[in-house]
Amino acid sequence: MEEIFRSLTAEKIQELLVICGISNCCDEPIKQHILGISDFIRQTRQEVGITDPPPLPTPTASPDPKAKRGSYRFLPTPEKRSRADYTGLDVPSHKKKRKNKVKAKDKTTLKEMSQGMNDAVPPIEGNIPTDSPSTDEANTAMNLPRAGTPLTDVYTHQGGKVPHSIVENILVNCIKLNDPLGRYGHCSKQAIVTTKVEAIQSFVDGIVKLQYPDAVQLIKQENAFSASKSIQSRFNETVYWEIIKKGAELLDPKDLPTSKGPLDEFTMAEKVATERFMREAGYGLSLANQRQCRLFWKRLFEMRNAGVDKILLYRTKEFDRFCKSYSSEAGASLVEMVRNWEERYAFHIKQLEERVVEESKGGFTGRLWLSQSLVADRLRVPENAWNSATNPWFSSVEETVFQLSGSHEPSAVTLGGFFDLQPKAETMRNKSIFVILQPKDDVFLTVCPIISVQEGDTLGRFAGVIRYSSECSVVYGIPGPEENLWLDYSTVTGALNFMKVSAPGGDSNVRLRWELIDGRGEGHLMWKVSVVALRAIQPFEELVRAAPQKEQYLLHQSPACAKRGYTKYQSS
């Protein structure tokens, strides 16, 4: 596919050079332009979701062969802009064709040039050339829906979709970076940092000599420091433009070069100061890279001044690519768009930070929700009645009776948390960390994900105790996969217990999945009751399960029952 783009680009540039009468120029500088244009075309097509190869240009109809002879400059303007058509030129002519030979020679040169592009491709990082990135901007925009409504794939601009993954992967990055911080603990320490390679090797040799507990603690510390430095470096870029402006103020206007080319939003002093900053900081100095960095750093600076905080802390390469390619003529302000994202997600990102720290330490009960005022003000639930970590047996007697009832083979599943953490949201199957509780009205709470959910994704554990008895409660009981096996949530609750409940056989987008797992050792079996998506669920779309009995459906319509977490507990 890349060869097609380069060949088409080389051919069109060759035609332009012939029109302008400079076909015998040096090939080397043209290679970089062809490479930059073809890479921009490829990246833009990827961003808007175009995967089909580009159609070959259709030759224009050939007029009278004799009309094609002579200087190309005298052709009508539309024909100058169309692809060259040489049909009919085999007719005998008394005119000399010295220029045609030059064309053939130049075409061969460009062909060889396009074939040798692989040797000239700069290093690629995140699908963007690090040395000579394209400075053209894609025409994309996103309109955010009203708060509390499901997000849908309708955000388009000039036919190109803007994926939800831009924000969703920022949420994943928040978890990825805060997990090592939580495992080590939030603290401030003086750390020895060295840039000497020999000292780095010596430090690693020292880790090996430590005892196991000390070595693990040191590794946790290094992972935490690495994540902290990643966040710090990412946020540092938001002030680069302010530093560049200070450098521009130090320049003498008399020493500035004369401005060339079309006017843009940058002064000559800012351009010179940017080049100086990039040279001293060690960035690539190609003109394309200067233009891209100049625009990108200014946009980050404007976002930070507009109050964008959490989005910039955990931004990803995908977010950076989107900002760099966003066209100022797209019709909507990029800064305003990102500020809307911040307003919608900043509170949820703050909650994610707290929940990740809690779960990284092994706290999966979910009791952190009781410290959220928007949740706690609507509930009268004791802390010990909130447990989303396990589904314990009601009694050891019922557990023993179950194990004696037949042969049982546990499944190989992982207990709790976000252990399948992936670099991108769409590849994660355990989405439990992204499920939130938020007010629905003055009485009821609603349960929903803040990222897209796919069919089969796990959304967390449904709180309750495991019973093995013949009397299954029609109000608080959920039948299990075996006879006499059921889940009782009359005395315990959790976040997913607050999801909306439809009538038996009604519409639902989730179900309960029972999994038998190996508990604390040989001969000890436990059940894990998880909530699993029945279909794709959009961000902020309410989770709904179907009640097994009408009595349970009516229970979840009661405001008084909602206040006590749908348990039997009576508030005093």
Q: Report which secondary-structure segment, H or E, holds 162.
A: none
Q: Which pLDDT band holds residue 119 (cuts at 50, 70, 90)?
A: very low
Distance CA 436, CA 369 (A): 9
Q: Judge whether residue 118 has pLDDT over 60.
A: no
Q: Which pLDDT band holds residue 194 (cuts at 50, 70, 90)?
A: confident
Distance CA 122, CA 129 (A): 6
Q: Are the CB atoms for 204 and 161 separated by under 8 Å?
A: no
Distance CA 161, CA 536 (A): 19
Instruction: Kindly state the average pLDDT of the residues 350-362.
Output: 91
pLDDT digits (tens, 9 = 90+) for 379-410: 999 999 999 999 999 999 999 999 898 888 87
pLDDT digits (tens, 9 = 90+) for 136-171: 333 333 333 333 455 544 344 333 455 678 999 999
Q: Judge whether residue 98 has pLDDT over 60.
A: no
217-226, 344-353, 485-494, 521-530: the lowest-pLDDT one: 521-530
Better-predicted residue by pLDDT, 565 or 37: 565
Distance CA 173, CA 168 (A): 9
Instruction: Kindly state the average pLDDT of the residues 26-42.
Output: 69
Give me the pLDDT at residue 559, please: 94
Q: Which pLDDT band holds residue 114 (cuts at 50, 70, 90)?
A: very low
Give me the pLDDT at residue 389, please: 93
Give me the pLDDT at residue 554, please: 97
Q: Judge whether residue 206 has pLDDT over 60.
A: yes
Burial class (CB in 10 A: 0-12, 13-18, 19+), 219: middle
Burial 335-357 (b: 16+ CB within 10 A, else e): bebbbbbbebbeebbebbbebbb
Give me the pLDDT at residue 123, please: 37
Instruction: Kindly state the average pLDDT of the residues 535-563.
Output: 96
Q: Which pLDDT band holds residue 546 (cuts at 50, 70, 90)?
A: very high
Q: Are the CB atoms for 489 and 566 separated by under 8 Å?
A: yes
Give me the pLDDT at residue 384, please: 93
Give me the pLDDT at residue 406, please: 84
Reduce the DSSP state of residue 254 to 3 states and report it. Answer: helix
Instruction: Kindly state the average pLDDT of the residues 523-534.
Output: 90
Give me the pLDDT at residue 199, please: 86
* Angle at CA of residue 411, ends 407 and 417, nearest 5°: 140
**CA separation, residue 533 to residues 402, 431, 537 (Å):** 28, 10, 8
Give me the pLDDT at residue 28, please: 58
Q: Judge whether residue 475 has pLDDT over 60.
A: yes
Q: Report which secondary-structure segment, H or E, holds 393.
A: none
227, two tokens: 């994540």
Q: Judge whether residue 571 has pLDDT over 80.
A: no
Give me the pLDDT at residue 496, please: 97
Q: Are the CB atoms for 459 and 510 separated by under 8 Å?
A: yes
Q: Judge whether residue 418 has pLDDT over 80.
A: no
DSSP characters over 84-130:
P--TTTTS--SS--HHHHHHHHHHHHHHHHHHTGGGGPPPEETTEES
Q: Are the CB atoms for 180 and 227 separated by under 8 Å?
A: yes
Give me the pLDDT at residue 354, please: 93
Give me the pLDDT at residue 25, please: 59
Q: Judge whether residue 530 has pLDDT over 70.
A: yes
Query: Pairing state of beta strands 156-157 and 128-129?
Result: unpaired
Please name the amino acid found at residue 369.
Answer: W
Q: Which pLDDT band holds residue 332 (cuts at 50, 70, 90)?
A: confident
Q: Judge whether residue 234 has pLDDT over 60.
A: yes
CA nearest to 519, candidates 528, 510, 508, 507: 528
* Angle at CA of residue 557, ends 552 and 562, nearest 5°: 95
Give me the pLDDT at residue 263, please: 80
Q: Locate the DSSP E strands across 265-329.
A: none
Q: Judge whether residue 74 has pLDDT over 60.
A: no
* Angle at CA of residue 135, ends 52 and 328, nearest 5°: 95
Q: Which pLDDT band holds residue 300 (cuts at 50, 70, 90)?
A: very high
Percent of the chain with pLDDT over 70: 72
Q: Which pLDDT band holds residue 190 (cuts at 50, 70, 90)?
A: low
Task: Give the CA dihedral 359, 382, 484, 534, nearest 10 degrees.
Answer: -50
93-107, 120-134, 177-191, 199-213: the lowest-pLDDT one: 120-134
Give me the pLDDT at residue 413, please: 55
Q: What is the mean pLDDT of the chain?
A: 79
Better-predicted residue by pLDDT, 7 or 209: 209
pLDDT digits (tens, 9 = 90+) for 257-292: 988 777 888 999 999 999 999 999 999 999 999 999
DSSP characters over 426-468:
GG-SB-GGGEEEEESSSS-EEEEESS-B-TT-EEEEPP-EEEE
